[in-house]
Amino acid sequence: MLETLKKIHIRIKEGMLKDMLLQTKWIYQYARRYWLAMIFYTVLGLFGTVVGLGSSLVSRDLVDIITGHQTGRLLQTFCAMVGLAVGNIIISQITNYASNWISLKVDAEIKSDIFSKMLVTDWESIANYHTGDLLTRWSSDASNISNGILSWIPNLIINVFKFISAFAVVCYNDITFAIFSFIGIPVSLLMSKTLMNRMVSNNQRSAAMNAKMSGFNQESFSNIQTIKAFDAISYYIKRLKNLQKDYISMRLDFQRMSMVTSVIMSLVGLLVSYSSYGWGIYRVWTGAISYGTMTLFLSLSGTLTGALNSLISMVPSAINLTTSAGRLMDILEMPQEDYSLDDAYSEFQKTYQSNGISLELSDISYSYQNSTTVFEHASLEAHPHEIIALVGPSGEGKTTMLRLILALLCPQSGNGTVSSEDSDGIHKLPLTASARKLFSYVPQGNTMTSGTIAENLRMVKPEATDDEIISALKAACAWDFVKLLPDGIYSEVRERGGGFSEGQAQRLSIARALLRHSPILLLDEATSALDVATERAVLKNIMKDDYPRTCIVTTHRPTVLGMCKRVYAIREKQCVILSAEEIEQLVRDF
């Protein structure tokens, strides 16, 4: 027996309650920023309770004056009652406004905070989550917290005060009525225990379902072309219907649970009010109390039951809130990227950019979290005024190498450095997330976003003039088609580069990278959709200016290898420099 109790104690200590405490602390760090507004809201709520009680007392007097139990000024009492009722309406509106204000502020703050933290989370860890799941956590879970944040301390204080003050008034007027305040408690407690268990699993089910729906919608809408091309419309409609079926069945499950709960709670409410009513009539009949006092009890029995139910319903709402906090904490507790060298890199860039910057990775080993080993003791270097090519069959690790260079991935062993040489010697910094200031990266695929061409390019240099944009477009061989567009650089680009061919979108992406004027340029199959002549022209333009750029390209096509200073092939998880003969062989075999 003792053993069992110990086990339960340990489970409570280590399990749900401990998690809930941590999650509550996490929520509190957002709530405390609005402590003044929360105090205002609490004071308003307390004031509203006092006005409500005052209104019940005045209505008691009014009834007693009318029924002749009390002598008093009817008109004044009536005016006081109306005044208090109007005051109640005004206070409740101000309270609503304050609660919305707090919710909106907290919502915006949590969302922007989580957004910025998600962006600095370790890339590989966050890439394991479906974007639909991330979106649901970021939007729905954050909203759950901001909407429910007031149900904590402020509503707890308000409802406790409401219950105690109403109870005190009841006791003062007729202590026998106090018993009715507690009739509902056992049932409400029982209900809340059942509710609590169901809610934990329902919340998790609901969050998982929402993430699934959001992921499906997002993927379907961004792949409409593929769905049509594969004649997969009916397949997708069927998938949606199945998801909807699951969703409806889950919602109806919830609905049934809340129906049962609310029927039981309403029955309890009826029981309380009818018993109060019956007891009230009896007390009036025996002459123990007046009609006015009975009216007071009837209205206070509602207040007491309401306050009690609100207090009890805080348990499931706390679960809802902490479940959401837990889901957000999962994301925020993932490892974060290291930006501690930001200042050092800014200084480094300012001082050495004009000399050009070299890049070196030595003895790098890297395996993805799923244990796919891509590199073992691989080394690579690139220097200013050089184009370095990375070649190799699909899936050998070219993109992975660029991710390592960009510090999106962190090698398990070996190290990366950037360096610059001047008359004082070689100046080095370790490769971390802060080094990204030095890079321009053109990834595979279409990375244009909706907006004008100019807006797309200014993403990397907001202060760029039109002339600078046009020069970048010229260097990327994109000006030829942009100048023919009726709105030139102010022509609209649709989502994912819609409205432009793959090759055009690639050239716009390259122009964007060039506009940034970074010392190191990384092109991941960035010229794959261009014809050979344009591809060569783009690379020539990139390297022809005096700017000491270091350029690394990954490619399947050996057409540009002749322009490269060194060609690395990824073989047996290493980067091997190809000889002139091997490069010639590659070109011949292509």
Residues forming the site for ligand ATP (CB under 6 A): 127, 368, 370, 372, 374, 392, 394-400
With respect to ligand ATP, which residue has the nearer C-beta, 572 or 581? 572
Asked if 575 contacts 392 with a C-beta cutoff of 8 angstroms, the reply is no
With respect to ligand ATP, which residue has the nearer C-beta, 80 or 575? 575
Min dist. Cβ of residue 575 to ligand ATP (A) = 12
With respect to ligand ATP, which residue has the nearer C-beta, 283 or 398? 398
With respect to ligand ATP, which residue has the nearer C-beta, 215 or 326? 215
Min dist. Cβ of residue 394 to ligand ATP (A) = 3
User: Rounded distance, CA 568 to CA 577, Å?
Assistant: 5
H/E element, 285: helix 233-285
Asked if 361 contacts 570 with a C-beta cutoff of 8 angstroms, the reply is no
With respect to ligand ATP, which residue has the nearer C-beta, 209 or 586? 586
With respect to ligand ATP, which residue has the nearer C-beta, 397 or 548? 397
Asked if 77 contacts 61 with a C-beta cutoff of 8 angstroms, the reply is yes
With respect to ligand ATP, which residue has the nearer C-beta, 399 or 471? 399
Min dist. Cβ of residue 395 to ligand ATP (A) = 4
Strands 566-571 and 386-391: parallel
Distances in whole angstroms, Cα of residue 228 to Cα of each of 43, 223, 243:
59, 9, 20
**Closest among 403, 335, 370 to 122, alpha carbons compared:** 335
Min dist. Cβ of residue 398 to ligand ATP (A) = 4
Min dist. Cβ of residue 405 to ligand ATP (A) = 12
State the residue for tokens 């998600």: 118
Min dist. Cβ of residue 22 to ligand ATP (A) = 30
Count Cα atoms within 13 angstroms, Cβ side, for 30.
27
Asked if 328 contacts 133 with a C-beta cutoff of 8 angstroms, the reply is no
H/E element, 507: helix 502-515
Min dist. Cβ of residue 508 to ligand ATP (A) = 21
Asked if 290 contacts 167 with a C-beta cutoff of 8 angstroms, the reply is no
**Residue 498's beta-bridge partner residues?**
494
User: Rounded distance, CA 482 to CA 475, Å?
Assistant: 13
- Helical spans, DSSP H, in 140-232: 142-148, 153-173, 185-222, 224-229
Min dist. Cβ of residue 399 to ligand ATP (A) = 3
What is the identity of the amino acid at 32? R
User: Rounded distance, CA 448 to CA 512, Å?
Assistant: 10
User: Rounded distance, CA 116 to CA 136, Å?
Assistant: 16
Strands 520-524 and 439-442: parallel
User: Rounded distance, CA 528 to CA 388, Å?
Assistant: 16
With respect to ligand ATP, which residue has the nearer C-beta, 521 or 526? 526
Min dist. Cβ of residue 129 to ligand ATP (A) = 12
With respect to ligand ATP, which residue has the nearer C-beta, 71 or 394? 394
With respect to ligand ATP, which residue has the nearer C-beta, 444 or 541? 444
Min dist. Cβ of residue 528 to ligand ATP (A) = 10
- Give the contacts of 150 (CB within 8 A, at least 6 positions apart): 38, 41, 99, 102, 103
Min dist. Cβ of residue 128 to ligand ATP (A) = 8
Strands 451-452 and 550-555: unpaired
With respect to ligand ATP, which residue has the nearer C-beta, 355 or 574? 574
User: Rounded distance, CA 399 to CA 391, Å?
Assistant: 10
State the residue for tokens 């794959």: 528
